[in-house]
A and B are shown apart, each in its own frame.
Chain A
């Protein structure tokens, strides 16, 4: 079997500013090249925290466990090192950066990822091709990053970056949230257009609907900071029909999110 792209072992995560607030309480997760995993779970179960911690966000602290990326332990790596190695996080709430154009961001990001300055002509050709592939207008690239973007535009901007960066792992943190059906389809088609055999994808979502467009190989359910169920696509459909309550009841868990000292 091929080396996993992502191998999370016994990961425990708390909030950096409040180490007593434990959010992720021991997660194991393996994503191999070409696989699509969906991580589902009720509000407050720790999905976004897990995504941020895997990407190296300084807002969180890893208390135990490791994150391996392509066989390397990157638990102590800075976020920029992880990104250069081929990890990409699509943010749930992409940060506006006034004054910095998408073009400037992408040029800097590409230079960092490849370790060399990308010639202007080559960069523009790649940018045009990716914009076309995602059915996005060229004027988009001249706008300030996420500044005054609609919800749909923000998510498409994330997918544009995903397309330009050629990562080996893409973590899509609630890429479907705040999108209407048309915007969701556009974004999902974008992700599908960018699929490559070496790319592993981890989709984090509340709802099954994005999974109608991007078929997962494995579905995990995260509750109170632990993966309590893993299964095939039918698990997502089951959640869509019945919600999380039957799973919670079966496990003797309440609906409450993870809390300090709990």
Chain B
């Protein structure tokens, strides 16, 4: 890659084993982590950059994003609601714990993708949520990642959630940045122990010039339940990959996202429901409402292994086009290797708002914009169902109303 800009020492081109290991030493991390960072830097050097030739990247072109002009920096992290039993706080500070050594990078190895390698080499701060056996966090654990003080920076968020047997918690990740250009490459791993219950809400409220490429990957043991929900409102480009491996019998998962786009915002969702064990249940529901020249892309795979008999999987992607220039692509894929399933469905729609519904609301005195605010809030409402947060429905309504007050319809 040629660039007219000078290469910053911590820009991805400059990720070397020495730089990565120095990162570890500087923060007093144990040797095993320093070695892993150095290995990740080597993996980063050998892995190809994503191109549209790779299917999950088909609709998201990175050629206009000159990564060499961005410099690695740490966002401010703030954690509240740490459980009475267990831990919620800095991952770096907890790096001497055995569970970190065991699980960090176990689901999202650095060798898998260039951006994951960059994250594994250079993540700073990070968050560990550890829920011991039979523990239940009484209130949501709220992690705020605030990058608003940064400019032209590369941010590597790293979150590890280890939920041991029969533990229970709700984790809210709030993502914030200012108007300056930022690139985010995040990695979130969720280890769901037997019969654990984890709710993960990702509130993406990035500033208008932030590009985020993040992965969420979970592995669920028997009877574990994980519900992930993303509210995507901000950012210039938001590409989120959420993958759940239903590895234990009776495990259940939900992956939900709502995206509200305007101007030239670009959303790209990739999901994987990987049914490995018998009697597992999963649901995916990704909804986008697009104003201006916003664009949404969805690529989702439902995989049912031969051993995963009695699987129940549903995958849905609905796109509402609020303007003539908005665009959505939907690409659901099923890979079913057993005939013994309960259900394996997929649904995808792309289209304008229902004119009958619009006339109905207009005939009640609502002008077109007010009617659309109500319709879009209603369209998103299904995401609230599985997330028992007080006030989430009102928060969602308020944010839809605020964004559509000025959106190009």
Interface size on B, residues (CB 8 A): 25
Is A79 within 8 A of B354, CB to CB? no
- Ordered nearest first, which 7 A-B pairs have the shortest CB separation? A99-B378, A99-B381, A112-B365, A100-B378, A83-B365, A109-B364, A95-B360
Listed by A's residue number, 19 A-B pairs whose Cβ atoms lie within 8 Å are A56-B362, A56-B363, A58-B359, A79-B359, A80-B368, A83-B364, A89-B363, A95-B359, A97-B378, A98-B379, A99-B381, A100-B374, A100-B377, A104-B378, A108-B374, A112-B364, A112-B367, A165-B364, A165-B365
Nearest-CB residue, chain B, relative to A147: B378
Min Cβ gap A30→B in Å is 22
Kindly state whether residue A238 has any CB partner on chain B within 8 Å. no
Is A100 within 8 A of B367, CB to CB? no
Complex-state Cα separation, A97 to B362, whole angstroms:
13
A44-85 to B contact mask, C-beta < 8 Å, 1/0: 000000000001111100000000000000000011101110
Given A100-B374, A144-B378, are A105 and B359 also a contact pair (CB < 8 Å)?
no
Chain A positions within 8 Å of B, measured between CB atoms, are 55-59, 78-80, 82-84, 88-89, 91, 94-95, 97-100, 104-105, 108-109, 112-113, 144, 161, 165
Min Cβ gap A81→B in Å is 8
Determine which of B363, B374, B380 lies in contact with A79 in the assembled complex, contact meaning CB atoms within 8 Å.
B363
Nearest-CB residue, chain A, relative to B373: A108
Chain B positions within 8 Å of A, measured between CB atoms, are 354-357, 359-368, 370-371, 374-375, 377-382, 397
Chain B residues with CB below 8 A from A80, complex form: 362-368, 371
Nearest-CB residue, chain A, relative to B378: A99
Is A105 within 8 A of B363, CB to CB? no
Nearest-CB residue, chain B, relative to A112: B365
Complex-state Cα separation, A89 to B359, whole angstroms:
11
Min Cβ gap B256→A in Å is 13
Chain A residues with CB below 8 A from B379, complex form: 98-99
Min Cβ gap A136→B in Å is 18
Is A99 within 8 A of B377, CB to CB? yes
The interface centre, meaning the residue of B354, B356, B361, B365 with most chain A CB atoms within 10 A of its CB, is: B365
Chain A residues with CB below 8 A from B356, complex form: 95
Main secondary structure of the interface of B (DSSP, over half): helix
Chain B residues with CB below 8 A from A88, complex form: 363
Determine which of B363, B368, B371 lies in contact with A55 in the assembled complex, contact meaning CB atoms within 8 Å.
B363
Given A80-B366, A83-B365, are A100 and B375 also a contact pair (CB < 8 Å)?
yes
Complex-state Cα separation, A97 to B361, whole angstroms:
9
Nearest-CB residue, chain B, relative to A104: B374
Nearest-CB residue, chain B, relative to A146: B360
Complex-state Cα separation, A100 to B359, whole angstroms:
15
Is B375 within 8 A of A97, CB to CB? yes
Complex-state Cα separation, A91 to B382, whole angstroms:
26
The interface centre, meaning the residue of B357, B366, B375, B381 with most chain A CB atoms within 10 A of its CB, is: B366
Complex-state Cα separation, A98 to B382, whole angstroms:
9
Complex-state Cα separation, A78 to B361, whole angstroms:
12
Complex-state Cα separation, A192 to B284, whole angstroms:
48
Determine which of A79, A82, A89, A99 lies in contact with B382 in the assembled complex, contact meaning CB atoms within 8 Å.
A99
Nearest-CB residue, chain B, relative to A83: B365
Complex-state Cα separation, A105 to B381, whole angstroms:
14
Chain B residues with CB below 8 A from A83, complex form: 362-365
Chain A residues with CB below 8 A from B382, complex form: 98-99
Is B362 within 8 A of A105, CB to CB? no
Nearest-CB residue, chain B, relative to A110: B365
Is A95 within 8 A of B374, CB to CB? no
Chain A residues with CB below 8 A from B357, complex form: 95, 97
Complex-state Cα separation, A78 to B369, whole angstroms:
13
Is A108 within 8 A of B364, CB to CB? yes
Chain A residues with CB below 8 A from B362, complex form: 56, 78-80, 83
Complex-state Cα separation, A99 to B366, whole angstroms:
17
Chain A residues with CB below 8 A from B355, complex form: 58-59
Nearest-CB residue, chain A, relative to B381: A99
Min Cβ gap A169→B in Å is 12
Min Cβ gap A124→B in Å is 15
Is A108 within 8 A of B363, CB to CB? no
Complex-state Cα separation, A91 to B361, whole angstroms:
11
Complex-state Cα separation, A144 to B381, whole angstroms:
10
